[in-house]
Each structure stands twice: as C-alpha cells, then as structure tokens.
Amino acid sequence: MQLTRAHERLREEPHDDGITLPGSPDEVDVLITELEHAWRPPVFENHTSIYGSFVLPGERSLVVGDNLVEIVDLDMPIELARRFADGRSAFLVRARDGSAQLACFRRTVQYEADLVEIEQATGAVIVQRTVMGMSRVFTPTGVVEWNGHRWRHRPSAKVYLPAVRAAVPEASSALLLGLLDLAVHWLSPARIGATFLLDLDPVDHDDHGLDMSAALPSPDLSVLERHHFAALFAVLNQTDLATLVGADGAIGSLGVGLRSSIASESAVHLDEGMRHRSAARYTWDHDHTVAFVVSEDGPVTLFRRGQPIAVCIGVPD
C-alpha cells in the first residue's frame, strides 16, 4: 500500500492527541486509508459526498442473524467502489487485505446510536463522514472525532457503566446501561437537554417534591427496551423538566418539576444551570433517587445525595 502524506498525518495526529486506533497493523493501515477518504473526500461538481465504511477485524462478519444487512460483492477498483457508500444505508466493507464489499442495510443506520450498536454487535471499526462534514470513527471504546482542531475520544456508554454501577449498586446493569445509552448516544449528540429521575425505592415515599402541574403521561415505554428510544427521543425534544423512571425501567410521567427544600438550597451550590441545580437539590432531599442530567452542551452528569457521582463526556466543543 502506497502511503500518502495525508495518510502519515492521520497516523500521527490521533496518536499525538492520545488516541490509539484499534486493530492489527494491517487493519490500522486500511482504517487510516478509509479515514483519509472520509476526512478529505473528492469534490464532484463543487459537492463533497458523505461516506461510510467498515473495517472488519480477522474473520468477523456484519451478518449477525437479524437480516438487517445484505452483503454485495464488488469487482471494481476501490476508488469506484467508494462511490456506492453513502454512510447512511450503504457502507463499504474493508478487510485487512484491502478487499472490499458493499453492505446494504434495510434501514438507515447513520446516527451515532445505530453505529455504536452495530460496532458492539460485530466488532467492526466504522468510519463515517456525516452530513455536517464531520469525520468520526466508532471503536470498541467509543467515538473518535475531529472537532476542527484536534482528535477527541468520547467513551461509549458501556465504558462508563462500571463506575456508575459502583456508585448506584441498587440498580441493575441493564437499567443503568439503558439510561446511559439513551443519554450519551441519543440525546447528547443531538444537544437535547433532559433530566431522568430514577427512583430506587419508591415504596412509602411521598411525592411532595414533585410538581405534576405540567406533567405528561407516558405510554408503556421502558429504558430497558432500545426500540423505545426513538419515541423517547422525539418527546424529550419537545418536553422540558424531568422524566420519572422506575426501578424496573418503566417511564412514568414527563415534564415533572422538581421542588427543593430550603435546606437543600443552602447545602447544594453548583455553578451549572437550573436543570443541574434542581436535580442535585432534589436528590439531596430524597436520598433514594438518582438524577441523570443531559446538558444541552453535551455532557451527562449523574447526581446522588446532592453530589455529582459521574460525568460522561458529551459532544465535542
């Protein structure tokens, strides 16, 4: 493989920013070649195309039994093959020997949440140039993105899970991962602010701290069911205040106000905005609750007993 100057830069720059691209040397070479194409795509009639490709490790396959994707053989030069990959429903599939196929998905899989799920199911490293012109790589530990100045790594929800599980041992791993997945990979990239109030022990507790005057009922949705996330994403993009989540993952009311006591207002001082302050103060008043707060700037903060117990890195600056 003949290496270009841009290829060498892409090998060095992520490393300089503290990022190690995954795979064997041959797989990393193919990955960087794909990233080079996504980062600096050819211009056709003053238009740069979006793009997407998978780099498969070893003998792994994109076909995982759910009939989501069809693999089409390609018998053409790689430069021509790339024209078929739109990074939304069609992706080039590269093996470490440089060969290529075309993956045609039966639905759009362009969003971060979709590609994180596919990466985790298949082990493929995914390169994508988005409609906004951002180049990013989905790896087993998170998303690597170019923010215009440097390469940044945002850990995936599953990377945060052990620390969150240790801080909230009463909740199941499935419940915590569902909340983290929804917050980190759905709401944060879309810059949708939200608060999830998880009640770990609702028995015999009053709700005097909840303002239900503007609350909305929820259908039978759960953070344990990933196919419910699109509905939650849609409603949270149109709803302010807090969303109640039961210990079984069930979504309760949305648009719930969180009241705070005079004692919590004196005890809890934060520089963040009202969404963070109200969540922190509510958990100070009600120690059986945990609040997941998604900032419109991207970061996700967990509060318990008035204190931040975890901060998940959000979208790049």
Contact 309, 300 (CB under 8 A): no
Q: Are residues 151 and 184 in the same domain?
A: no
Q: Is residue 178 part of a domain?
A: yes
Q: Are residues 182 and 291 in the same domain?
A: yes
DSSP 8-state code for residue 23: S
Contact 279, 258 (CB under 8 A): yes
Q: Are residues 187 and 306 in the same domain?
A: yes
Which of 95, 122, 155 is the last residue in one of the domains?
155
Nearest to 291 by CA among 223, 217, 199, 210: 199
Q: Are residues 149 and 33 in the same domain?
A: yes
DSSP H stretches of helix in 151-273:
157-167, 173-181, 229-236, 262-267
Handedness of CA 207, 213, 214, 216 (dihedral sign): positive
Long-range contacts of 264-267 (CB under 8 A, 24+ apart): 264/306, 267/306
pLDDT of residue 223: 97
Q: Is residue 197 part of a domain?
A: yes
Tally of structural domains, the chain: 2
Nearest to 125 by CA among 83, 148, 94: 94
Place of tokens 């993009």: 237
Q: How far apart are CA 258 and CA 92, in angstroms?
A: 48
pLDDT of residue 205: 58
pLDDT tens track, the chain, 317 positions: 455 676 677 777 887 788 888 888 888 889 999 998 988 888 888 888 899 999 988 777 787 656 789 999 999 999 999 999 999 999 999 988 888 999 999 999 999 999 999 999 889 999 999 888 889 999 999 999 987 788 899 999 999 999 999 999 999 999 999 999 999 999 999 999 999 999 998 765 566 789 999 999 999 999 999 999 999 999 999 999 999 999 999 999 999 999 999 999 999 988 888 999 999 999 999 989 999 999 988 899 999 999 999 888 755 44
Q: Are residues 145 and 26 in the same domain?
A: yes
Neighbours of 127 (CB within 10 A): 31
Q: Are residues 127 and 10 in the same domain?
A: yes
pLDDT of residue 11: 75
Q: Is residue 292 part of a domain?
A: yes
Give the CATH number of the domain where residue 229 resides. 3.40.1700.10
Q: Is residue 303 part of a domain?
A: yes
Long-range contacts of 148-154 (CB under 8 A, 24+ apart): 150/13, 150/17, 151/13, 151/14, 151/17, 151/19, 152/17, 152/19, 152/316, 153/18, 153/19, 154/313, 154/314, 154/315, 154/316
Q: Is residue 317 part of a domain?
A: no
Q: Are residues 30 and 161 in the same domain?
A: no
Q: How far apart are CA 270 and CA 292, in angstroms?
A: 16
Q: Are residues 194 and 306 in the same domain?
A: yes
Q: How far apart are CA 304 and CA 30, in angstroms?
A: 45
Q: How far apart are CA 127 and CA 40, in angstroms?
A: 13
Which of 110, 137, 155 is the last residue in one of the domains?
155
Hey, what are 28's tokens?
């990393």
Q: Are residues 298 and 204 in the same domain?
A: yes
Q: Is residue 51 part of a domain?
A: yes
Give the CATH number of the domain where residue 122 resides. 3.40.1700
Q: Are residues 167 and 294 in the same domain?
A: yes
Q: Is residue 161 part of a domain?
A: yes
Which of 136, 155, 174 is the last residue in one of the domains?
155
Q: Is residue 258 part of a domain?
A: yes
Backbone phi and psi for residue 35, each to the nearest 5 degrees, phi listed first: -65, -35
Q: Are residues 138 and 217 in the same domain?
A: no
Residue-range definition of the domain harbouring residue 140 = 5-155
Q: Are residues 205 and 267 in the same domain?
A: yes
Q: How far apart are CA 181 and CA 176, in angstroms?
A: 8
Place of tokens 């520089």: 271
